[in-house]
Amino acid sequence: MAGINIPELQLNINGPVKKFNNNGISMSLIGYSNGTEVKGYLVSITNGRNGGVTILTFTSSQLFSNKHYEIVNFVANGIQYLN
């Protein structure tokens, strides 16, 4: 499975990668951070010129909530690229 795999952090995609607006993707993540089970969510948006930004949140599985999705989506929806 594709993801991040370093000694302190292992994150893998959990479910489908979804389209985000016209120029991005979003995905849910699961894994471990220093031995603690975590859940996460990210949105990655391209600028159409070989650049972009990724917003990522993760926390322990017990603390993860819909608020994490809402915050990342709010930030991602506010991004505007300048020409």
Q: Give the pTM.
A: 0.88
Q: How do residues 18-42 score in pLDDT, each as one tens digit?
A: 999 999 999 999 999 999 999 999 9
Please give the pLDDT value at position 56: 95
Question: SS3 string of 22-77?
Answer: CCEEEEEEEEEECCEEEEEEEEEEECCCCCEEEEEEEEECCCCCHHHHHHHHHHHH
Query: Can you list the domains of the chain with their CATH numbers?
Result: 3-74 (3.10.450)
Reply yes or no on whether the pLDDT at 67 is more than 80: yes
